Amino acid sequence: MSGKHYKGPEVSCCIKYFIFGFNVIFWFLGVAFLGIGLWAWNEKGVLSNISSITDLGGFDPVWLFLVVGGVMFILGFAGCIGALRENTLLLKFFSVFLGIIFFLELTAGVLAFVFKDWIKDQLYFFINNNIRAYRDDIDLQNLIDFTQEYWQCCGAFGADDWNLNIYFNCTDSNASRERCGVPFSCCTKDPAEDVINTQCGYDARQKPEVDQQIVIYTKGCVPQFEKWLQDNLTIVAGIFIGIALLQIFGICLAQNLVSDIEAVRASW
């Protein structure tokens, strides 16, 4: 009797446990994002009154956590369990889902480049729509304040865009103390001040334009974002290319593992 044994195709343990380990991390991150989103909604009372989801006139930042967390959870689950249990259906789902996301990102990038003016108009509409709802949701308010502080801007194309908000507009019928003002995030910062003056924007737009430039940022967030994008184009492009390569790498690994599993099963 020959001592030789037939050695058939084998599933690569390196690929299998690499996919498993990577997706476990991805899965837990998805759970964390979903948890943060649900906690934020619970704090705002949305979970006890689901119909209030549609009450907000602007964009609710919590949706970012829920959508991103949901996608990460589904991908992480499919990749993790698919690799561990050598389930080709889940691994194929993982590959296809990741491929669809990659295709959507690629399509969005091409369309954003081709229809730059349309994107700018939509961004202007989006910001102004959220300016109207500035006081309606604390998360939206924090997002707008962060954006205006980070890019040192005010409104979509200028401080006068705050006329769209019922508390900041300059109409005679507006009895708000914030009338003809802007949020504190529009104010220029004094490095010597340790405490934020939340009233620094009061009556700011009643002043002459020359004086306004001393007190508040007069440039809009849309042109400031364009400038930031041009200044950091290499970094932004590098991040997107890195994400794309990771997605392609993940698809290739999953497909390789599927081929190994099918080859092993075919040899039985």
Check whether 222 has a pLDDT greater than 80: yes
pLDDT at residue number 71: 92
Q: Are 33 and 100 in contact (CB under 8 A)?
A: no
What pLDDT, in 10s, does the model give residues 207-218?
998 889 999 999
Q: Which regions of 73-154 does DSSP assign to beta strands (E)?
A: none
Q: Cα-flanking dihedrals φ and ψ of residue 87, to 5°?
A: -95, 105
What percent of the chain stands above pLDDT 90? 49
pLDDT at residue number 61: 79
92 or 138, higher pLDDT: 92
Average pLDDT over residues 125-143: 88
Average pLDDT over residues 134-149: 90
Average pLDDT over residues 34-39: 89
Rounded to an integer, what distance in angstroms lies between the CA atom of residue 168 and that of residue 201?
Answer: 10
What average pLDDT does the chain have?
A: 86
Check whether 198 has a pLDDT greater than 70: yes
pLDDT at residue number 122: 86
Q: Give the H or E element holding residue 120.
A: helix 116-132
pTM beyond cutoff 0.85: no
What pLDDT, in 10s, does the model give residues 146-185?
999 999 999 999 999 999 999 999 998 999 999 999 999 9
Q: How far is CA 240 from the centre of its chain?
A: 14
What pLDDT, in 10s, does the model give residues 244-257?
998 999 899 999 99
What percent of the chain stands above pLDDT 70? 91
